[in-house]
Structure 1
Amino acid sequence: MIRSKKWIREILSLAAVFGTAFVVGCADDNNEGAFNAPQQGGQCLNANGCGTSNPKVSSSSMYPYSSSMDIIQIVTSSNDTIRDTIINYLPPDTALRWIGQSALRITEISPLNLDWFDEEGNDPSWVEIYNSSDQDVDLEGYTLVENLKNLRKWVFGRDVLKAKSFRVVFCDKKNISSVAIADNGDRHTRPHTNWKLDKNGGTLYLVDKFNGIRDSVAYPELTAGLSWGIVDGGYWKYFEKATPEQPNTSKSYDEIVPDADMSGLKSGFYNEAFTLNPPSLAEGVKLRCTTDGSVPTENSPEFNSPKRIDHSVAFRCAAFKKGALSSKVTTRTFFVDEEAVKMPIVAISVDSSFFREHYIKTKCDAPRGCADSAGLYADVEYPIHVEYFEKGSSTKDGSTWEKDAGISLMGGYSRLNDKKSVSIRLREEYEDGSINYPLFETRKGVNDKYKSFNLRNNGNRYVSDYIEDAMGGALLEGTSVDYQRSRQVVVFYNGKYYGIHDMRERFNKHYVETNYKIDANSVNFIKHLGQEVEASNGTTDAYMNMLHFVAANDFSGENNANYAAAKLLLDVGNLADYMAAEIYMHNGDWPNNNVRAWSAPEHPWKFMVYDLDHGFDWMWGVNNGEFSQSNNMFAWIKKGGGNKPCKEEGCFANLYNQLIKNPEFKRMFINRSALMFNSYTNGKNVEKIVNAMVATIDDNEMTRDLEKFKQNERYYQNSCGHGFDKTGSCLKTWASSRDSKVIEEYQEEFGLSGMATVTIAASGSGSVLMEGATLPSKEFKGKFFVGNPILLTAVSAGGTFTGWSDGVTDNPRLVEPKEGATFTAQFQ
């Protein structure tokens, strides 16, 4: 039976399988041979035509809201012949087709979920499926996909959806298909797809194991917290409050008000007061605005006449219309008669409750101390709008970039300061979920995608200098040790000046993704809080197993099998570099604290320097007075740091204390330490980086910052004397004396007699690794500890290795460090 080549829809009442009715869609003659599937949510299928903003699905019986016949949908073949067969039981290789069993329906979609959490406390996007039948449905073999080009991209595993029940599927690339739903509805057992919902809109398909499309829904672009769901009568609408695994009975809306055109209102610096004129609006639309950082509501003042701006303010507006959801919030920060700022600016707009309930507190108000202080130590995240001005007050045409994001307090006792450290998270729930912009000069243009960053008040160094912690990390650029890149910025909250902050990379799974191009969801990320180990992503299992293995086994002797096994668990070269760096910096708040590490498939554990505030001549409050500038770092490590003995459970120091018994690790550690002292952690490099960082901080900004936060200069004392070190001179003085002291510590610890200058080079297309480490230059000259052989490995870069300059052809090889010795790998 051939139909005309136009889109037609007929309802055929058939007394067939299950007594179902059939909706039949025919192919379009402009797309002959293509698969043209009517879409439930984004394309109207009813006979009365389309064009409404709240499309109605073709099914008259779906979901718990109505009770007429089921509908199965069939699309014709390429020759436009309507199939008159029932295809529920065709074999698995059957061509893709619509059969639509209405018992299973996609009923709600949330691309930017804010408050329904998965088993790890995350809030991924989700899709809700409802089983309207009186029988349980086995979903195993079904697929839920967003693209028919890859029909089996994600397949349900063991999962039975009970009669008259819902199932939420999280869409976050975690790829968990088999679940065991608890009777109490525990959402920790929900499946996760291996793809994400597109916040800009898309189409979803629920496909059975025989390639029959049971349901499809087209969904529009949605802002954070909204969902797209079906209501009684089969209409799809916007929900301001999502209802996962519940009937869609919350208030719904037919449309979202378009954003008001505020392109003529630019954020930036204005020399004097000015007048804002309201933009033109469609009929029935009202623009409502706030000036206190809060998100506008339908009760906020209406912006319908010229408004005079005579002071710095965060001006936030949204468009409202009766019966519709409000538009996105547009934010403009106006700096009026503000002092010129020559540094980058971060302007944050946030509800005043963030300050009232958290930021302004400077005392622990809990009976048992700071840890229980609900306001000060509660990591509550507030939605914000952040604007960045790269050239400070000279930035033209508005901000350099702007994003919706989240903010929360961070840090330990530094939260007691008037100026607080905060974390800025660019979650997908707020907007894009990331920024692609070179926040930092280091590796600019290489690793420029960020999903979060910190604005740091300099922690314990709040009272002493601006740069110590950032400088300590920057020393390690080019080594195997991860650190947080940084830059100094000026921060404004709701148009008010809050001084100089240290903008920093944030350590988390996204740091690994940005810097190593490894999927963030595959990363285990751990931190030591004292001797407690926590995972901020993944689990602690593998890390604790590694600690236990190293603590429990013997590593002495050559060709040690336990050491070979340990090298598969952790990056021993990275551990050596990391230990050398912390030893040089003389960090007293370590190794019993402030340890960070990550791993991923095929990437053994790597360590990262974190919180170096108690290094570089810090004089007071270190580990309850247990640590001072006279401490020998090797003795400090052997006891595990602090005043508690190093126990196997959770004791990081055991890694070094055990592995140093192995002659291979000991040799490698001493030589890689020498490389660190030659090229990275030394007084010359400290001076270079201190000078560079101080040069980025404007003198006028220092004066203004120190005036606003006067406690900076109250009581700190170091070996340089009292007062705030604006220029970093104390850091440079300390480092210049540390160079010789750290060498003395090594010589005493390992019984070494002196240092010898050795040249390691390569000629032709190749390079040389020293104990597995990449050298800073092709011809490297440095000092090494006499009596400790050096392992050299020639690595070809296209050339053929022909031997060493002294005639030896072994590769790799061990060499003795002697004064003036040269070892050149030759390549042809």
Structure 2
Amino acid sequence: MRKRSSVAILIGMMIVLLIMIAVVTKVENTRKSTIFLSPQFSRGGGFYDEEFYLRLFTYDKNDVIYYTLDGSSPDPIQNPHNTYIYGERIPIRSRKGDANILSNIPTTVYNPRNTWKPPMEEVFKATVVRAAAYRNGEAIGDIVTHTYWVDEDIGDRYTFPVISIVTDRENFFDEEKGIYVPGSLYDEGANPPYITGNYFQQGAEWERIASMEFYEPHGELGFSQRVGVRIHGGSSRLEPQKTLRLYTRREYGENAISYKLFPDSDIEEYKRLLLRNSGNEWGNTMFLDALAQGIIKDMNFETQAYRPAVVFINGEYWGIHNIRERYDDWYFEIKYGIAREDVVILEFQWSVDTGVEGDEAHFVDMLTFMEENDMNLPENYQQAHTMMDVDNFIDYQVAQIFFANIDWPQTNVYYWRKRTEAYDPTAPYGHDGRWRWMVFDLDASFGFWGTNYDTRSLEMASDPDYNHNGIWGGRDWSWSTLLFRLLLENQDFQHQFINTFADHLNTTFQKERVLKAIDEMQFIYEPEIGEHIKRWGYPSSIEEWYENVEGLRNFARKRPEYVRLHIMEKFNLEEMATVTIDAPEGWEGTVKVNNISIDASQLPWRGTYFHGVPITITAIPQEGTTFRGWGGDRSGDDSTLTVDPKGSMEFRIK
């Protein structure tokens, strides 16, 4: 067979390109024409301090506008009791005095922690107007949704962004199809009964279409579009308030949320998002996972961006939710430019979460290699480095162990790689084909869920007979500690792990730093927590909330001391050592202690390390200046020192 000419190939490519342009143009034109056919509103949704009259209109005066005020879809045939024909105007007023409706619907039946409670008082409400245009008895265009909050102090009412989720009531609360209630699928006779119910259902058939409006704290509209909504999470689905998982799809109108949701992130496009209920920590502080991930966000693994928000459902106040990124193939495509079909995500004991059957083979082969070969041999340990990002794994273990996460390592384990033919050391981050770990759901840590500042997480994470003290049904969970145990056979890994932990105890987990982070979170959530408590009844009072936050502080104060003792016991280390780094006044540059970079303005600097585990200290003078040598407990002209710390040691730059 003769090869096609380059001209023919070029023509073929041009034809494909023209077809693609035509399709995109058609979709965009259809979208624009749909907007043109849809009802127009005289005022957009948002915050108003005075009542007003809303006017609706269409570009064709012969069109008939139908509207609803309860969040349901305007449809004179399918929804005749709640659908009205638009006349001259619609009054938009304060809804003070209106009865609670949706917020009086029980959203859980059996929960060993938090039973459902009705709101303590009338919840704050907004007016939701949904309108559709009809021509010759047929709907044209899209349903348009706007949410209006009216209150004399509305501009200062919320310090968080405000999200309005609007959908037909039955989508969330119907006995048969409602995703937010126990519903017909709750089985009181099941063992255990608390894992049944509509809210435990998953998959596309349990996704419901809703309108979403996002407003910045003082009422500026960020974006408005239709999304798909599912219930998200594990056992946290039992909580009265649920986590919502949001999906964007072309058939809903927009293929992504194109908005800078997280001010500290460079990402401005999202395919999936979570409106998180704070997970298993629900009813305590409402921010523990966000706090913990914020503390470790500069470590060498994935963490989820966060931003707190207040959510309304069909106009009724629904409480504090934390906007979070969701890990999936879209996440890695948007963040690292890895094609979705090349992303492999495994969970738990190498189950394929994103990918195809067989994608776990690379991970299983890696474990098999480590089990069958002496990991204390340098060549075998180096081979492990080509299959997994060891630095990432160490940081991941350090974080989980420090926080005393009781819901790990037997659960909440996610790891990923780009599917490649072989390890590519020259590839950009994430593209080299190695396994990496990501952190999420740190709710059962930091002193909650039976954890404490003296919890022996290091021993648990390396226990060959790990069964979580029988908490998780007495099953054999030893697979969850296998990789860590295999790597600990290598002394280089062991020393790197100990020094990395020491580095983070001296910086990331330094008591004052963590306490400051807790203070900041309390300051952020304090203005909003009162209304949330009145809505849900958990925690029971603002005083209890303060006590819960103080529990975090108690953990932060005491945890470093116990972790250091646990490290010494685990690795048979004799003593801790205090290392001081100093320089003469006027010296300019940085000093590195292992992986810590210390600016001259931070000197003198002190850290705690372990005798028997050498550390590396490097002086890096500012460009144009000269390093003159070391003084103190070690003299010499070499800018890099390797030291086995003992007692109290001081190293001074000359």
Q: TM-score band (shorter)?
A: 0.7 to 0.9
- Judged with a 3 Å threshold, the aligned counterparts in structure 2 of structure 1 residues 97 and 705 are, in CA distance, closer, same or farther, namely closer
What is the distance in 2 between the residues matched to 1:295 and 1:788? 67
What is the distance in 1 between the residues matched to 2:369 and 2:477? 13
User: Which residues in structure 2 correspond to 1:560-599 (within 5 Å)?
Assistant: 561-599=379-417
Which of these residues, 336, 360, 363, is aligned with residue 181 of structure 2?
360
Match of 2:292 in 1: 472
- Judged with a 3 Å threshold, the aligned counterparts in structure 2 of structure 1 residues 804 and 320 are, in CA distance, closer, same or farther, namely farther
Match of 1:430 in 2: 252
What is the distance in 2 between the residues matched to 1:480 and 1:689? 20
Match of 1:307 in 2: 90
Q: Secondary structure of 1:330's match?
A: strand
User: Which residues in structure 2 correspond to 1:236-635 (within 5 Å)?
Assistant: 258-260=36-38, 262=40, 264-297=42-75, 299=77, 300-310=83-93, 311=95, 312-322=126-136, 326-337=140-151, 340-356=157-173, 357-361=178-182, 365-366=186-187, 367-368=189-190, 369-379=193-203, 380-391=206-217, 394-396=218-220, 399-441=221-263, 443-444=264-265, 446-528=266-348, 531=349, 533-537=351-355, 539-557=359-377, 559=378, 561-600=379-418, 601-620=431-450, 631-635=455-459
Q: Which runs of 5+ in 2 are unaligned?
A: 78-82, 96-125, 419-430
- Judged with a 3 Å threshold, the aligned counterparts in structure 2 of structure 1 residues 97 and 522 are, in CA distance, closer, same or farther, namely closer
Q: Do 1:500 and 1:705's aligned partners in 2 also have CA atoms closer than 8 Å? A: yes
What is the distance in 2 between the residues matched to 1:326 and 1:794? 71
Match of 1:112 in 2: none
Q: Do 2:182 and 2:198's aligned partners in 1 also have CA atoms closer than 8 Å? A: no
Q: 1:360 Cα deviation (Å)?
A: 3.3
Match of 2:424 in 1: none
Match of 1:250 in 2: none
Deviates more, 1:686-695 or 1:786-795: 786-795
Match of 1:92 in 2: 5
- Judged with a 3 Å threshold, the aligned counterparts in structure 2 of structure 1 residues 96 and 735 are, in CA distance, closer, same or farther, namely closer
Q: Which runs of 5+ in 1 are unaligned?
A: 1-88, 99-141, 149-196, 205-216, 227-254, 621-626, 717-721
Q: Do 2:576 and 2:608's aligned partners in 1 also have CA atoms closer than 8 Å? A: no
User: Which residues in structure 2 correspond to 1:227-242 (within 5 Å)?
Assistant: none
Q: Do 1:646 and 1:654's aligned partners in 2 also have CA atoms closer than 8 Å? A: no
What is the distance in 2 between the residues matched to 1:461 and 1:646? 26
Q: Secondary structure of 1:258's match?
A: helix
What is the distance in 2 between the residues matched to 1:797 and 1:514? 37
Report how many residues are paired.
Answer: 575
Q: Does 1:705 align with 2:527?
A: no
What is the distance in 1 between the residues matched to 2:355 and 2:4? 42
Q: Do 1:362 and 1:415's aligned partners in 2 also have CA atoms closer than 8 Å? A: no
Q: Secondary structure of 2:227's match?
A: strand
What is the distance in 1 between the residues matched to 2:650 and 2:170? 67
Q: 1:374 Cα deviation (Å)?
A: 3.9
Higher relative contact order (CA 8 A, sep 6+): 2
Opposite residue 378 of structure 1, the aligned amino acid is Q
Opposite residue 275 of structure 1, the aligned amino acid is Y
What is the distance in 2 between the residues matched to 1:507 and 1:823? 46
Opposite residue 496 of structure 2, the aligned amino acid is M
Q: Do 1:288 and 1:298's aligned partners in 2 also have CA atoms closer than 8 Å? A: yes
Opposite residue 456 of structure 2, the aligned amino acid is N
Identity of aligned residues (%): 25
Match of 1:676 in 2: 504
Residues 591-613 of structure 1 deviation map (CA, whole Å, 9 limit, x = unaligned): 11111222223152221222112
Residues 60-113 of structure 1 deviation map (CA, whole Å, 9 limit, x = unaligned): xxxxxxxxxxxxxxxxxxxxxxxxxxxxx9962446899xxxxxxxxxxxxxxx
What is the distance in 2 between the residues matched to 1:609 and 1:374? 28
Q: 1:474 Cα deviation (Å)?
A: 0.9
Q: Cα RMSD over matched residues?
A: 3.9
Q: Secondary structure of 1:613's match?
A: coil
Higher helix share: 2
Q: Do 1:345 and 1:491's aligned partners in 2 also have CA atoms closer than 8 Å? A: yes
User: Which residues in structure 2 correspond to 1:658-697 (within 5 Å)?
Assistant: 658-697=486-525
Opposite residue 91 of structure 2, the aligned amino acid is R
Q: 1:745 Cα deviation (Å)?
A: 0.5
What is the distance in 2 between the residues matched to 1:90 and 1:632? 67
Residues 115-151 of structure 1 deviation map (CA, whole Å, 9 limit, x = unaligned): xxxxxxxxxxxxxxxxxxxxxxxxxxx7696426xxx
What is the distance in 1 between the residues matched to 2:305 and 2:460? 28
Q: 1:802 Cα deviation (Å)?
A: 8.4
Which of these residues, 584, 600, 608, is aligned with residue 783 of structure 1?
608
Residues 154-204 of structure 1 deviation map (CA, whole Å, 9 limit, x = unaligned): xxxxxxxxxxxxxxxxxxxxxxxxxxxxxxxxxxxxxxxxxxx97xxx326
Q: 1:792 Cα deviation (Å)?
A: 6.0
Residues 260-298 of structure 1 deviation map (CA, whole Å, 9 limit, x = unaligned): 462532111234543222214315433332333234446
Residues 475-508 of structure 1 deviation map (CA, whole Å, 9 limit, x = unaligned): 1122113222222211101111001122222222
Q: Do 1:489 and 1:500's aligned partners in 2 also have CA atoms closer than 8 Å? A: yes
Q: Do 2:39 and 2:131's aligned partners in 1 also have CA atoms closer than 8 Å? A: no
Q: Do 1:765 and 1:798's aligned partners in 2 also have CA atoms closer than 8 Å? A: no
Q: Do 1:591 and 1:640's aligned partners in 2 also have CA atoms closer than 8 Å? A: no
What is the distance in 2 between the residues matched to 1:594 and 1:469? 13
Q: 1:690 Cα deviation (Å)?
A: 1.1
Normalised by the length of structure 2, the TM-score is 0.77
What is the distance in 2 between the residues matched to 1:364 and 1:815? 64
Which of these residues, 199, 207, 221, is aligned with residue 28 of structure 2?
221
Q: Does 1:203 align with 2:30?
A: no
User: Which residues in structure 2 correspond to 1:177-192 (within 5 Å)?
Assistant: none
- Judged with a 3 Å threshold, the aligned counterparts in structure 2 of structure 1 residues 684 and 458 are, in CA distance, closer, same or farther, namely same
Q: Do 1:640 and 1:654's aligned partners in 2 also have CA atoms closer than 8 Å? A: no
Q: 1:653 Cα deviation (Å)?
A: 1.5
- Judged with a 3 Å threshold, the aligned counterparts in structure 2 of structure 1 residues 223 and 616 are, in CA distance, closer, same or farther, namely farther
Q: Do 1:361 and 1:375's aligned partners in 2 also have CA atoms closer than 8 Å? A: yes
Normalised by the length of structure 1, the TM-score is 0.62
- Judged with a 3 Å threshold, the aligned counterparts in structure 2 of structure 1 residues 429 and 346 are, in CA distance, closer, same or farther, namely same
What is the distance in 2 between the residues matched to 1:512 and 1:92? 38
Q: Do 2:184 and 2:198's aligned partners in 1 also have CA atoms closer than 8 Å? A: no
Match of 2:423 in 1: none
Q: Secondary structure of 1:464's match?
A: coil
Q: Do 2:593 and 2:618's aligned partners in 1 also have CA atoms closer than 8 Å? A: yes
What is the distance in 1 between the residues matched to 2:10 and 2:300? 54
Q: Do 1:407 and 1:423's aligned partners in 2 also have CA atoms closer than 8 Å? A: yes
Q: 1:676 Cα deviation (Å)?
A: 1.0
Q: Secondary structure of 2:282's match?
A: helix
Residues 599-635 of structure 1 deviation map (CA, whole Å, 9 limit, x = unaligned): 2231522212221122111244xxxxxx777642232
Residues 209-250 of structure 1 deviation map (CA, whole Å, 9 limit, x = unaligned): xxxxxxxx97443769x9xxxxxxxxxxxxxxxxxxxxxxxx
Opposite residue 712 of structure 1, the aligned amino acid is P
Q: Do 1:471 and 1:686's aligned partners in 2 also have CA atoms closer than 8 Å? A: no
Q: 1:522 Cα deviation (Å)?
A: 2.8
What is the distance in 2 between the residues matched to 1:295 and 1:809? 75
Match of 1:161 in 2: none
What is the distance in 1 between the residues matched to 2:622 and 2:433? 24
Q: 1:669 Cα deviation (Å)?
A: 0.5
